[in-house]
Amino acid sequence: MPIKLVVGLRNPGSIYEKTRHNVGSWFAEALVQRVGTSSFKSNKKLHGDLADITVDGSACRVLLPHSYMNHSGLSVRSVCQFYRIKPDEVLIVHDDLDLDSGRIKLKTGGGHGGHNGLRDIISQLGGTSFHRLRLGIGHPGHRDLVHNYVLGKPSAEDRMLFFDAIERAIAVMPLILNDMAAAMMKLNG
């Protein structure tokens, strides 16, 4: 199945804009800037900002939910219902504590791994058949430090690692949109 919706998870607002938790939105914004056929436009009915992109002839929508991370599923479900997009045609782009800063992995299905944005999307879509682009942000070392870590701003070195990972993932978007298995081999190798 081709990907018809790419979702960059985030917390909205300037206070969160440059935090590790928003690396999914950094990807979505860079993707739209690079290959978008339109810029993001707010859609209150669908609870998010939407843009259209075309990559090597493949059309897709990109979504930035208006809600906080823990409630992203409402926007994802609304867009999927409105445009008749199936869960297995969705790519969720999110931060991942289990990957070192700058590492990227593509995955299909699976649990939420403690990520509240994924937990809400699984609940709203009624399953886990969607795809994920996991952008590594590293781990602070102890679970008691996680909250402040994900909502903190990364070092300049980590930001460079994040944006390098984003560039590598954007370069593979033609495969991601049309051949997930080949994209996984290329990115996960």
Q: What is the 3-state secondary structure (H, E, C) of 72-98?
A: CHHHHHHHHHHHCCCHHHEEEEEEECC
How many Cβ atoms are within 10 Å of 104's Cβ, its own excluded? 21
**23's tokens:** 């690396």
Beta bridge partners of 48: 43, 65
The alpha carbon dihedral of 115, 55, 102, 67 has a sign of negative
Contact partners, residue 3, CB within 8 Å, separation at least 6: 60, 89, 90, 91, 131, 176, 177, 178, 180
Are 142 and 68 contacting, i.e. CB atoms less than 8 angstroms apart?
no
**21's tokens:** 């938790």
Q: Which residues are catalytic?
A: 21
The pairing of strands 41-43 and 48-55 is antiparallel
